[in-house]
Amino acid sequence: MLPAFLSSLTVTAAAALATAACVIAARRTSPYRSTAPQRVPVLGGLEPGTHAWSRFHVRYYPMTLLFIAFEMEMMFMYPWAVVFVEEGVTALAEMGMFLGILSVGVVYAWREGAFRWQ
């Protein structure tokens, strides 16, 4: 147990030292020095128009949740295509249940007016 721990600790320490050495070497050999306007976290060094912690209107959240639901659907459908070849009808029934649950969520969002943009 101890030799495995020591070897992983050695590899972690070597990786941390190599990373630190690369960062230090890059900072010392870089021909460019950034100025204060270039350090502003907006492309082109412009002043940001709003604060980073500004709030968004509540109408964006239902669309965001629907987007996440559709992304989850796609994320599970790609590996399902591989499993479907091996499992057959069982995998088809399971994906049907999954899509049915997602459809209930989409119908609910539709009835609540999440797709109406005002």
Distance between CA 81 and CA 86 in Å, rounded?
9
Distance of CA 75 to the CA centre of its chain: 12
Return all residues near 69 (Cβ < 8 A) that are at least 6 apart: 102, 105, 106
- The pLDDT of residue 40 is 64
Give residue-wise pLDDT tens across range 85-116.
888 888 889 888 988 988 888 888 788 777 77
Distance between CA 62 and CA 68 in Å, rounded?
10
Question: Which runs of consecutive H residues, i.e. helices, occur in 30-88?
Answer: 60-87
- The pLDDT of residue 47 is 66
For the entire predicted model, the pTM comes to: 0.43
3-class secondary structure, 62: helix
Across 23-27, 40-44, 62-66, 103-107, least confident range:
40-44
Percent of the chain with pLDDT over 90: 15
- In this predicted structure, the answer to whether residue 39 has a pLDDT above a threshold of 80 is no
